[in-house]
Structure formats: structure tokens, C-alpha cells
Structure 1
């Protein structure tokens, strides 16, 4: 029996001898302070929806990361950045994400692939891919990052979400041609995508120019028609004024006055020719006033 106990306890001697019923079972290493703060920040973010408190907790956890082991520190730091990015986005402070992340990692080359991917997706979704252009370019050019398994996925994401929407055709072609992340088949597909996007942009620009030209022509035609309408209104107003009834009465009164003046001096040698010409003028004016054109209705 003793030999059996000794045999069964032999594997445990490396831990300080056989366990006694009064001794507690030894667990793994206790989580670090940064890991505890990470768990607290995730709880504030997901359960309590206290985004501001979650962000402050992430920033508190940064202060103790220097005292953590290197391997555990990198993993916790990356997770803290993921929680912080989500908290900033929920508070509609997404423009601060890139600068906030770079405060933790100091240089773009040290950003974890997961954090950089989240930044690209966020700024692309908010239609500001230019904010991460320089950061992603620096990260892709780093020799250490080119050996990472996530490098190809980030290069393709950078091409589709940043370079093509911004119209950076030469940079896109350089990335596809000079990067080992693209196989021959993927390189041909990427070059085809670049060519298609460039043609679409050209057609869009020509279409917008044509639309702008049509709008300008339409505006000129509208202005010309408006001018014609205004001239017609002015002409109708002038016709209505000159051929109005009070004007005709004044004209007739003036003619009668001239007849009376001439009649008071019948001995004048010029009275007869004057009366003849005056009668002709009166007949023409009367004919013009009573013509159908003068009786047309006027439309304002």
C-alpha cells in the first residue's frame, strides 16, 4: 500500500511533494493588471454601454503595460486598441481613432494588422479613406511587416478601399507590380480592376461635363425665352397705351382744333392744301386705329 502511494505521488514531487487535503489546489498564473483592466473595459463597452468609461479604462491600462512581459503585453495592447476603437466609434469620435492608436504604438510600422485593418474599414466606411493613406503605405513598405501572414490581405484591402476610391492609379499599379503578396493570377485581376475603375472615373467625368453643358445651354435658352416674354409684355403695354381710348380722343381733339384754326382764316393761300393734307393724315390715323391689329386682346 505504501509503495502504491509512493508510486502515485511520484509525479507530484516536482510540485513539492504529495498534496494534502488541507492544501489549496494551485492554479495558473494570476492575470495581470492590464488584463483585468481590459476585461473591465470590455464589460463597460458591451454590457453597460458606457463608452466613455470604457475608453478611460483602456487608457489606464496603457500606463501599466511597460511592466508586463513582452508577449502578453503585445496581445493585451492590441485588444485594448480594439475596444478603444469601438468606443470612439460609438461616441461618433471616429476621426480621432488613428491619432489615438498612434499614441499607443508611436509609429505606423508597429501597428498590429488587426488594428490597422479596423482603421481602414472604419475610415473607408465613413468615406474618408485618405486619412489612412500615408499610414498604410508606411506599414506596407516595412520589411518586417512584409513577412507577416496578414500582409497580403492588408495589401488587397488597401488597394480596394483606399487607393481605388481615391483615384491613386499609379500608386495602385506600383503596389500590385512591386509586391510579392500578389500571385500572378491575383496581379492580373488587380490590374484589371484598376483599369476598370479608371475607365469608370473617366466616363463619370465626361458624363458630368456633358450634364453641366446641357444645364448651361438650358439656362441660356431659359434666359432667352424670358427675354422674349419680357419684350412681348413691353410691346403689348406700349400698344395698349398708344391706342387707348383717351389717346384717340386727344388726337381727334387736336385735329378738330386745327380745323377750327384754319377755318377762321379761309383767305389764307395755304388753307386748302393744308386742309387736304390734314384730311389725308386723319384718314390714315383713323384707319390705323380701327384696324383689326389694334383690337387684338392683350395677354399679360
Structure 2
């Protein structure tokens, strides 16, 4: 039939897009032919769920799968139970949507009592594993914070010591250069440190700092060479 041929062509198209690493286009391309998620054939929906799960983007199928599973016409299909299971395992549980998963399982007539209990147990186990991962992640972040603060403290102390030495050096230079604006030189030196050590000179964000640095050095150099700022010559 025409519907079967159309479905087969879509399956081939999905596989071709995936092989060309154009998987981001798969869902929009398929919906161009079926217009609404609930109209997707079971085979096409299955491939889309597996594809986006494999590439680590299960959230793409979150609303699509929900719309398809909640459609009353689809609930009478023989593939409904297997697709619901696929949606649970590859979309809802990896995204931590445990309440939605439990709601779907309890409301699914395709499952008997034993299957429903088995799926609810799987959801409970997945929820527990999710909570453990969150606790481990939080503990790791808490351990990293003191280390980060210690590193920043050491860097701040080193920077302060460097600026102190620069200030002393500039103060010593002021004995030779009368009225030399050493504060500007200090600021220029600090900006030089930022540009050379902390910033990437090739980055566009570094250009304002470099421009300001050049201006300050020009002003300081002009002040040194200006006759007004030169110390009087004594016989």
C-alpha cells in the first residue's frame, strides 16, 4: 500500500541522514511528510527514538513520543506496548522524568499486572541511581570549591607581591624622573600583565586593553621627555 511504501522510504531516508551525520535533520524531515507526531508509523517512531538516544539527545523525542503515546488511535496498535517501553528506557528515564514514566505505566492497558510491576520497579531503581549520581556530583563540587579558593588565594598573593615590587621599582625610578606619573606606569604594567599573561592577544576582546595600554605608555613617555617634567640642570 501507499502508506507502507511511504514508511519504507522514510526509514531509508532516516538511515541515510544518520550515516551522513545529519541526524539533527531527521525529525523535522520526517514531520514534513507526516505533519504531526501522532501520525508517525511505529517503525519510524522507533528509529527516531533509538537514533536520538544514541547521539545523546533524548530530549528531542520527549514531546514527540508523549504525543504519539497519548493518542487514542495509537493505543490500539500491537506495537504500542513495545514503543512505550522503548520511550521509557531511552527517553524518560535518562532525562529523570520518573513521575511521567510512572503515570504512563499505570495508565497503559497494554501491560498486565506483572509487566506493570516490573516497569514500576525499573523506574524506582532508576530513580535511586539518579539520586546517587546527584549526591556524588554535589559532593565532588563541594570538594572542588575549597581547592579553587586556595588556588585563587595563592594567585592573589602572588599578584599582590608582584604589584608591590613594581610599585617599589617605580618609586625608585621617580627619583630619576621628576614628576613621572608612576601611577599610570603602574596601571600600564598591570594591564601589560593582563594582556600577556591572562589574555589572548589574538582575541578581539583583548584589543581594548592593548589600545589602552598603548595610550598610557605614550602619555607616560611624553611626560618623561617633556621639558616641563625634566628636572632642572644644575651647574
TM-score over 0.5 (shorter chain): yes
Deviation per residue, 1:196-228 (Å, 9 max, x gap): 111212111111111111111223345566788
Q: Any stretches of 5+ residues in structure 1 without a counterpart?
A: 1-71, 233-300
CA drift at 1:128 = 0.7
Task: Confirm whether residue 97 of structure 1 aligns to residue 26 of structure 2.
Answer: yes
CA distance in 1, matches of 2:54, 2:28: 18
Task: Confirm whether residue 207 of structure 1 aligns to residue 207 of structure 2.
Answer: no
Task: Confirm whether residue 159 of structure 1 aligns to residue 88 of structure 2.
Answer: yes
**TM-score (normalised: structure 2):** 0.63
CA drift at 1:137 = 0.9
Q: Which of residues 36, 43, 67 in structure 2 aligns to 1:138?
A: 67
CA distance in 1, matches of 2:90, 2:27: 16
CA drift at 1:122 = 0.4
CA distance in 2, matches of 1:95, 1:227: 45
- Tell me, yes or no, if the aligned pair for 1:102 and 1:108 is still in contact at 8 Å: yes
Change over 3 Å in CA distance of 1:150–1:205 after alignment to 2: same
- Tell me, yes or no, if the aligned pair for 1:88 and 1:96 is still in contact at 8 Å: yes
CA distance in 1, matches of 2:123, 2:52: 21
Tell me the number of residue pairs that the alignment of Structure 1 and Structure 2 aligns: 162
Equivalence for 1:111? 40
Deviation per residue, 1:231-251 (Å, 9 max, x gap): 99xxxxxxxxxxxxxxxxxxx
Higher relative contact order at CA 8 Å, sep ≥6: structure 1 or structure 2?
A: 2
CA distance in 2, matches of 1:222, 1:151: 56
Task: Confirm whether residue 85 of structure 1 aligns to residue 85 of structure 2.
Answer: no
Equivalence for 1:169? 98
Change over 3 Å in CA distance of 1:188–1:225 after alignment to 2: same
**Which one is further off, 200-209 or 110-119?**
200-209
**TM-score (normalised: structure 1):** 0.50
- Tell me, yes or no, if the aligned pair for 1:155 and 1:181 is still in contact at 8 Å: no
